[in-house]
Structures are given as structure tokens and as C-alpha cells.
């Protein structure tokens, strides 16, 4: 039996769809040179097998970057983090052959002021997907 697994592109597409639908910010996979902040961009940075005795599973690690407009105040980036957290309470819509088992925030991975005077936060998530049950034949 051939098992169809989700790829990075499918997880990223579902993530971008969720953020575009549920936040007021422009969301990118690759930020254009002329894009103005505030903005979000998302990246799938890893995956690992977490299969159990009964199920085929993987966990994808995702980073969502929130970049606020240039300012000394952190208020906007705080609002952006909250908007992302609220958006991610809605399950990602994945292809039919993949079931979204769990998506969990792993916290703010970094928080800094860039050389452009923009506050930049990276919010981490793990998305666990299931491909089906193992069966004895």
C-alpha cells in the first residue's frame, strides 16, 4: 500500500490560507522587496516522524513571523502576536488524505527590533498530522 504524505508546500499553503482568512495583515510565503510592514510571513522549518504502534503520524514545525511597522513602541507587534494566536485556534484545512490531529503553539521563539526599526516576533507552532491507521494483514 502506498502512503501519500503531506509535503512542506501543502502545510505552508494551509497555514497561509488560515492567516489570510483570520488576520487583517498581508501574509506571505516569500516577502516581496517592496512589501510594507506590518506583515506576516510563514515558513515550515522541519518535520519529524511521530508514528505510533497504531497510526502513521508526523509533526511539522512552523514559524510565523510578525513584523510591525517601524516604531519604538511594541504595541503593534503585541497585537499581531495575539491575532496570530487567535487565527491559529482554527484548524488548518489540509488535503483529504491528511488529518489534522493537533496544532500547538510552542511560544514566541524570538523577539527583536530589526535594523529597519521594525519589531519582529517569531511565533512557533507544531502541526501533527495523521495519514491513517496501521493494520495487520
The predicted pLDDT at position 66 comes to 98
pTM for the structure as a whole: 0.92
Among all chains, which residue has been given the C-alpha cell 506590518? Answer: 38
φ, ψ for residue 18, nearest 5 deg: -65, -50
Q: What is the pLDDT of residues 96-129, one digit of tens each?
A: 989 999 999 999 999 999 999 999 999 999 999 9
Q: What is the pLDDT of residues 59-102, one digit of tens each?
A: 999 999 999 999 999 999 999 999 999 999 999 999 998 999 99
**Residues 6 or more apart in contact with residue 51 via CB below 8 angstroms:** 57, 58, 134
d(CA 61, CA 111): 18
Amino acid at each position: 500500500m502506498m502512503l501519500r504524505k503531506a509535503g512542506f508546500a501543502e502545510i505552508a499553503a494551509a497555514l497561509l490560507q488560515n492567516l489570510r482568512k483570520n488576520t487583517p495583515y498581508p501574509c506571505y510565503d516569500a516577502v516581496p522587496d517592496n512589501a510594507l510592514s506590518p506583515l506576516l510571513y510563514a515558513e515550515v522549518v522541519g518535520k519529524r516522524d511521530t508514528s505510533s504502534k497504531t497510526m502513521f503520524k508526523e509533526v511539522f514545525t512552523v514559524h510565523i513571523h510578525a513584523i510591525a511597522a517601524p516604531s519604538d513602541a511594541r504595541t503593534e507587534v503585541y497585537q499581531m502576536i495575539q491575532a496570530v494566536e487567535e487565527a491559529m485556534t482554527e484548524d488548518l484545512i489540509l488535503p483529504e488524505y491528511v488529518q489534522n490531529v493537533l496544532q500547538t503553539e510552542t511560544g514566541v521563539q524570538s523577539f527583536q527590533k530589526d535594523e529597519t526599526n521594525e519589531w519582529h516576533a517569531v511565533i512557533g507552532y507544531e502541526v501533527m498530522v495523521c495519514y491513517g491507521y496501521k493494520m495487520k494483514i
